[in-house]
Chain A
């Protein structure tokens, strides 16, 4: 096993995931929220790849394919919501659509 060690890859994945999570929780702009989600998905994908490489198994790459598919679906739904938000409320602020609070 040469090249990037597993630990390094996992640390990078954790950093990416934390960045995405922080972005999700902090940003109000929906574009950035979606971007943060993408980062989190890719962090999870990176962890799969690293794991698959480390143990010499193909499932890690198979899972990454699934994650990409999921991310594409999520992005399409998320962007559709984004367009609706922009059209109806003339804003990208997610807190603007809290009218149905309990």
Chain B
């Protein structure tokens, strides 16, 4: 069985190599077939692994070879499989397969489809390596690999300059976090002498007492990396712009898998974080702040995909909140259900966008529910899961678990933030559905919508719809023994919290229905003048973080660069170049091609030599 584990990442790698070495000779269908099949086979291998793990749940380690060997520093190319990485592996290959399949419909007729699938397979390869790596260096390799693929795929439509800048932004902002992570790895290696995760977590409690400054610092640095990758405050600004990529990319990378890598990292290193309670609390607070800030920002977006992007930030905020409350299994459970329903929402959004001839502004859509029944169903089911509609949706069970764990751990503030966030989630979700699917069609693109056809369009949507309902919540991640046991609490309080959370979600939906169906004119008036307009603009620009970073960091940087461009020291070295150039010009002038001139210069030279000899003697 041990050969299955390497197969999960070797197959997507083989797909990437095959596609990129074809030099564009493969057609659209062949590219899509190779790209999807490699992930499909990888998903099959994962299914076999899951079946094997359910029979005999024990940690498997497969060491392929020693990667580097320098003194004590001997990271291996080793894969470790336990309940946590298995859950992530299932999400990556399973949801990844559905998204690859959907992309065959979404991307039809686009140019460079081979490139698209090569990048997507490379992404799956890196992501699988990230979750399977048994040492932090291999994890870091996958971490950087997914960052690279994210960059490449955001800038997929590279003919538009704005997409290139969005890709730049995503790469640079996450790089800030990655630097923290790298320094964290250096620190851990210096202090503990290994990067192997199992050894690391074994040695850390022996060396450090709870709350020791070094372990707090190490945890803080890892948290920095997680914040960048998972788009949490203050490194969250890249995610909304990352929507410039094709929609399946947003579904796979910027909703289901890559952005949750930070959650995985913290859950994987949870023993370290438990030694640093202050940093763990900070994780929860950042999660709560992000979940509120992104929730408000999502209320004032006009682009379907940007609403979903802010909603993703907000939901990952829930996961960080859970991590901060010490409920690691709840965070991973929410990660899984979120991957299902957010991928569903993104794919449905993709279906709407393609059907409406690449119109993604909600102000120009509307009245689509009759024309695009499948996409509408996807939005309703996914939206219900996102808003955590009680009992019938997957999102309800995972979100409820998070809130309950926050309460049981005694974090009242986090609980309140989570409830307010749930209220906001309901409002913006219903606003998204009403604006996109109800009312009148507001543009020709929406009026002439053509519903998607075919298996590649329908199957992923339907499978994800099923997984987003309570059926998806039955897939309990096998996390016992890997992550600490959840907090216990009285069942009475749990039921009370479930009822409160349900009421909050339903209240949000009711308020949104009243606002966006009955009081539309009043709302439009309020948001078009005075304080309402100002607030709307502020939220629309997501609290002005972009402007602040632009003024505080980007522009000073550009100014410095421009100042350094006319460098005096550089001018000195430029002088050498100028002299060489002058000499060249002077010497090339002597090459006249005239025989008489050459004779003359020979005579002149000979005379000069004789004169010099005569005078020196």
Contact = CB atoms under 8 A, between A and B. Distances in A.
Interface in B558-606: 587-596, 599-600, 603
B592 A25 contact: no
Contacts of B595: 33, 94-95, 97
A98 B595 CA distance: 8
B591 A26 contact: no
A26 B593 contact: no
B480 to A, nearest CB: 82
Contact of A97 (B590, B593, B600): B593
A102 B591 contact: yes
A24 interface: yes
B596 A26 contact: yes
Interface in B150-209: none
Interface string A69-96: 0000000000000000000000000110
Contacts of B587: 102
A100 interface: yes
Contacts of A94: 594-596
B601 to A, nearest CB: 10
B596 A24 contact: yes
Contacts of B591: 101-102
B217 to A, nearest CB: 65
Interface residues of B, number: 13
A31 interface: no
Given A21-B603, A25-B603, A101 B596 contact: no
B596 A99 contact: no
A24 B593 contact: no
A95 B588 contact: no
Contacts of A95: 594-596
Interface in A42-80: none
A24 B597 CA distance: 10
Contacts of B603: 21, 25
Contacts, number: 34
Interface string A21-48: 1001111100001000000000000000
A95 to B, nearest CB: 5
A33 B594 CA distance: 13
Contacts of B590: 102
B602 to A, nearest CB: 10
A27 B603 CA distance: 15
A9 B593 CA distance: 37
Given A21-B603, A102-B588, A28 B593 contact: no
A97 B593 CA distance: 7
Contacts of B588: 102
Contacts of A99: 593
Nearest to A94: B595
B589 to A, nearest CB: 8
Nearest to A100: B593
A28 B600 CA distance: 13
Contact of B599 (A25, A97, A100): A25
Q: Which of B587, B591, B592, B594 has the most chain A CB within a 10 Å cutoff?
A: B594
Nearest to B587: A102
B592 A28 contact: no
Nearest to B600: A25
A40 to B, nearest CB: 11
Contacts of B589: 102
B39 to A, nearest CB: 61
A76 B599 CA distance: 20
Nearest to A27: B596
Contacts of A97: 593, 595
Contacts of A21: 603
A98 B596 contact: no
A98 B599 contact: no
A26 B595 CA distance: 10
Contacts of A33: 595
Interface in B260-299: none
A25 B593 CA distance: 14
Nearest to A97: B593
B599 A24 contact: yes
B593 to A, nearest CB: 3
A98 B598 CA distance: 11
A26 B597 CA distance: 9
A33 B592 CA distance: 18
Contacts of B592: 98, 101
A16 B589 CA distance: 32
Contacts of B593: 97-102
A38 B537 CA distance: 95
A86 B599 CA distance: 21
A100 B588 CA distance: 11
A95 B599 CA distance: 12
B242 to A, nearest CB: 55
A91 to B, nearest CB: 13
Contacts of A98: 592-594
A19 to B, nearest CB: 13
A1 to B, nearest CB: 28
Contacts of A27: 596
A99 B596 CA distance: 14
A27 B596 CA distance: 8
Interface of B: 587-596, 599-600, 603
Closest 4 CB pairs of A and B: A102-B591, A98-B593, A101-B593, A102-B588
8 contacts: A25-B603, A27-B596, A28-B596, A94-B595, A94-B596, A102-B587, A102-B588, A102-B590
Given A24-B599, A25-B596, 6 more contacts: A21-B603, A95-B594, A95-B595, A95-B596, A101-B591, A101-B594
Interface of A: 21, 24-28, 33, 94-95, 97-102
